[in-house]
Structure 1
Amino acid sequence: MPDRGIDARLINAYVDAIEKEDKLKLKWFRKNEERLNAIANKPTTKAVPEEVKEKFKQDRIDAYTNAIKNPRVKTEDSPPRKVPGALQGVMRPVDPSVTRLIYTGLNKDGRLNYLTERMKMLPEDRYFFTECTSFEYGWKMWNHAKTVKKTGFGRQQVIKESFYRRRGVERDPDWYKEPAGYSPMVCTTT
């Protein structure tokens, strides 16, 4: 018959070890109690001195008051973007009709309309090359999507291929005939 449970000697050994550990913890706590209370009741030193706060505030005010203000450039009067021989940006030029969406719209919706239109385009139509590593997945995949072979183990559209007709509705086959009904021309033997 197999043994069930833990031997009583092992249980007593575990109890003795736990009691010994508890006594050592209590001894350490009593020895270091004053030091722990001093650390716990110590006032916080994270307060920022007032002169540092005032200097930071004055620097922020100076940065805003002395900022260089540039007039807003209208899209119709903007200089041409392409400079011969200059290194162009990462993004392809934006269509002017899409750019005008920024300045049109009610209740400041222009930015949202512009971004919505830009997101409808594929990344390879917006950028000259992959800007970040996440663009590499799927970059120019539409060129190769039609040449990819189906895998034998992946998900497939079984019902679509077996049930639906690819060529549309066809005529009835030659062997199909209407069922005969009761008429004087049909001879029935019973």
Structure 2
Amino acid sequence: MPKDFSNPAVIILLKEAYDREKRLRAKWISKNREKLEKAVTLNREPTNYFEEDVAKQNMIGVLPSITLGHIAARENRKKTPLRDARTIPAAESIRHEHSIINMGLGSPSEDPRLARPDTDFKLDPIMRPVNAKLKKLLMKPRPTFGREVYLKKRTKEDPGNKYYFPECTSWDHGWRLQESSLLERATYGRIWQLNRSLRSRVGPQPDPEHYYPPSVPCYAKCASNIL
């Protein structure tokens, strides 16, 4: 409920509260005068530091670790470096165990580029060889054949038939899915239902009644009434 400031009793109460607060503030200031003067007065000697001086001090603190690094580098430079000849057996074993042929992704009969010795450390081919029938399109005249027709048919091929490994992240989903043991054929598609009905024991059957359009109810007279 708001106070009535026109009431003399309320005016006296507020005046006494203000006077009491003034006395408490004056008492606290007189009691902590020394602390207040020390807080607002700069009594220490000025250092006159600049940003360059602070950065220099930080660099001086890091110099010992840099010196130790130079000492370690000097000792390492005296050692004999490892030669490539010592790493050939490891590279040879990796090449032999993880080649495209050993992983079952290709064969030298399909791609002659894969038939090379284990000491050959060149990168494996990225793309699979192009089909001979498709390559013949480039040798025939336009417009039925030619480069444009070749590229259109080439783009329709599955990326798994053109590349040994997925070249972008969008190919990860469904890559070589036909080789998965978990692949199942659709059991509710139209083609599957048609094959199922044709190969069944009783042959194709008519559609159920709920597949037909609903019949519109209408008024029909009975035969007895007509007679």
Question: Who wins on radius of gyration, i.e. which is larger?
Answer: 2
* Larger helix proportion of the pair: 2
TM tier, smaller: 0.3 to 0.5
Scaled by the length of structure 1, the TM-score of the pair is 0.33
